[in-house]
Amino acid sequence: MSIETAVVLLAVIAVGTYFQTVTGFGLGMIVIGVSSGFGLAPISLVAAIISLVTLMNSAVALPGKLHHIDWPAARYVLVGVLPSTLAGVLLLEYLSATAANLLQLLLGLTIIYSGVVFMLRPASLVKRSSNLSFFVSGFFSGLFGGLFGMAGPPVIFHFYRQPFDLATVRNMLLLTFAFTAGTRTIFAGTQGTFTPAVWALIGFTVPLVALATIAGRRYPPPFAQVTMRRIAFGVLILIGSGLVFNTLYR
């Protein structure tokens, strides 16, 4: 990787970190999307870095914010996330390329539909969903994370529909992604993914991620909750569109 490419990748990571700090999601989606679209680095390398960056982002962003979390819902989500993440990684090894592409296409279309519906009607539900629904959203998030390295959409969609304030949504997402990233990091470590080159690049990201996270905590965008929900679902539409485009035209 050239110095210029590394600088661009670090800049994308900084933008993704800030966005994730203020919304609760987006780091992995933004970095992996841009990296794959412009060929900045192999996806396996980027995914390994994102896992550790996500842990660092959560370590800086979550302290002092844990009281915002709906812990019963979070526990059900995490129970679904952890085993299905590993299941998704293992399942990918047995899927044909055609089957994997079809799943990715369906995921992209579902994300677009969800984003359009709730960007037009961003109001949250009147009543909190059942604990089972949180388990289901966590399960599919882990599965998609293992298959595509993109765990966010199911829990983003589900959390932003709840009658939670944005602080609760944001911190519950950060907690979920921290556990998902931790699971993937442990698994990747057993596969020998963290080479000296990976650790060298991670060394440069540590202060950058810390600064971007602090900036997100201290200087969030001055938008109303409805506007932030529209922004969140607008990003989902872009992510879904990128998945569909990559599946049909790669």
Q: What is the DSSP string of 67-126?
A: GGS-HHHHHHHHHHHHHHHHHHHHHHHHS-HHHHHHHHHHHHHHHHHHHHHHHHS-PPPS
pTM of the model: 0.74
Average pLDDT for residues 112-133, to the nearest whole number? 76
Identify the top-confidence range among 38-52, 57-71, 174-188, 189-203.
57-71
Percent of the chain at pLDDT > 70 equals 86
Confidence at residue 201, expressed as pLDDT on a 0 to 100 scale? 79
Phi and psi angles of residue 41, each rounded to the nearest 5 degrees, phi first: -165, 160
Report helix, strand or coil for 250. coil
Do the Cβ atoms of 49 and 205 come closer than 8 Å? yes
Average pLDDT for residues 190-206, to the nearest whole number? 76
Which tokens in the block code for residue 124? 């949250």
- The whole-angstrom separation of Cα 20 and Cα 12 is 12
Percent of the chain at pLDDT > 90 equals 9
pLDDT at 215 over 80: yes
Confidence at residue 76, expressed as pLDDT on a 0 to 100 scale? 94
- The whole-angstrom separation of Cα 83 and Cα 79 is 7
Identify the top-confidence range among 53-57, 172-176, 185-189.
172-176
Do the Cβ atoms of 245 and 109 come closer than 8 Å? no
Which amino acid is present at 145?
G
Confidence at residue 174, expressed as pLDDT on a 0 to 100 scale? 85
Do the Cβ atoms of 181 and 171 come closer than 8 Å? no
Average pLDDT for residues 191-212, to the nearest whole number? 80
- The whole-angstrom separation of Cα 160 and Cα 125 is 9
Of residues 65 and 239, more confidently modeled: 65
Residue pLDDT, tens place only, 5-52: 888 888 988 888 888 788 777 777 778 767 766 777 776 677 778 878
Which tokens in the block code for residue 32? 């992996």
Do the Cβ atoms of 54 and 150 come closer than 8 Å? no
pLDDT at 135 over 90: yes
Of residues 85 and 115, more confidently modeled: 85
Rounded mean pLDDT of the chain? 80
pLDDT at 132 over 90: yes
- The whole-angstrom separation of Cα 220 and Cα 5 is 28
- The whole-angstrom separation of Cα 82 and Cα 103 is 20
Identify the top-confidence range among 33-42, 132-141, 223-232.
132-141
Confidence at residue 227, expressed as pLDDT on a 0 to 100 scale? 78
Query: Among residues 155, 166, 110, 104, which one has the least CA distance to residue 129?
Result: 155
The 3-state DSSP composition of the chain as helix, strand, coil percent (nearest 5) reads 80, 0, 20
End-to-end, the C-alpha distance of the chain in Å comes to 23
Confidence at residue 100, expressed as pLDDT on a 0 to 100 scale? 66
